[in-house]
Chain A
């Protein structure tokens, strides 16, 4: 069974940092592109970052460019999101999602990030 499990969320201060992790199982993680998608409380979905299986191609949404960094460790079946210079508007559930032709065919249950003083 395909599983994606996010971790690392929590409370951070404005200007602070957090590192999210997503651990994959049940499929060959090494061959899939992966994404981070977030959802602010009571709001819609916002894609924020994409990385190919070989790490050569990366995209970011403008809202996080220069502050967030996506990475992966294929040996550990893991995807990461380093979030720096956090703002209140970054408060959201962060989902890890597997890519199929830039659609998202499998999602984790998400991890909540709250940015507040």
Chain B
């Protein structure tokens, strides 16, 4: 099974400042079929289901603000929020969509400093 490890567990960032969340996989998520990485990021606000922000490591879903961006390749990935807004307070999860069993990171809680 592919193990996904996120860091940090939580972070507090001032409004308008940058937030970065790291995700490491136990094996490469690079797909040779399309030269993309099979890594997704989700946002979950309290009392709500998760929402897909990006897949293929950096492909933003429709309607997701462009302050959210994804980077990385192979086993190391980062979700960056370029200018934190109040509505971004949430828990963020990475997930490998490379092969079953599909696995998630443990989550990173983002709060306002």
Contacts and interface: CB of A to CB of B under 8 A. Distances in A.
B interface, by DSSP: helix, strand, loop or mixed?
A: loop
A50 B100 CA distance: 9
Contacts of A50: 100, 102
A109 interface: yes
Contacts of A46: 104
Interface of B: 38, 40, 42, 44, 48-52, 55-56, 61, 93, 95, 97-107
A59 B55 contact: no
B82 to A, nearest CB: 22
Nearest to A47: B102
Given A45-B93, A103-B40, A59 B100 contact: yes
A57 B100 CA distance: 11
B104 A107 contact: no
Contacts of B44: 45
A1 interface: no
A103 B49 contact: no
Contact of B52 (A44, A104, A110): A104
Given A44-B93, A44-B107, A45-B93, A102 B102 contact: yes
22 contacts: A35-B102, A44-B93, A45-B42, A45-B93, A45-B95, A45-B104, A45-B107, A47-B100, A47-B102, A47-B103, A61-B101, A62-B101, A101-B56, A102-B97, A102-B98, A103-B38, A103-B52, A103-B97, A104-B40, A105-B61, A107-B50, A109-B48
Nearest to B61: A105
Interface string A72-114: 0000000000000000000000010000111111111110000
A101 B97 contact: yes
Given A44-B93, A105-B52, A107-B49, A59 B101 contact: yes
Contacts of B51: 107
B99 to A, nearest CB: 8
A72 B15 CA distance: 45
A108 to B, nearest CB: 7
Contacts of B106: 44
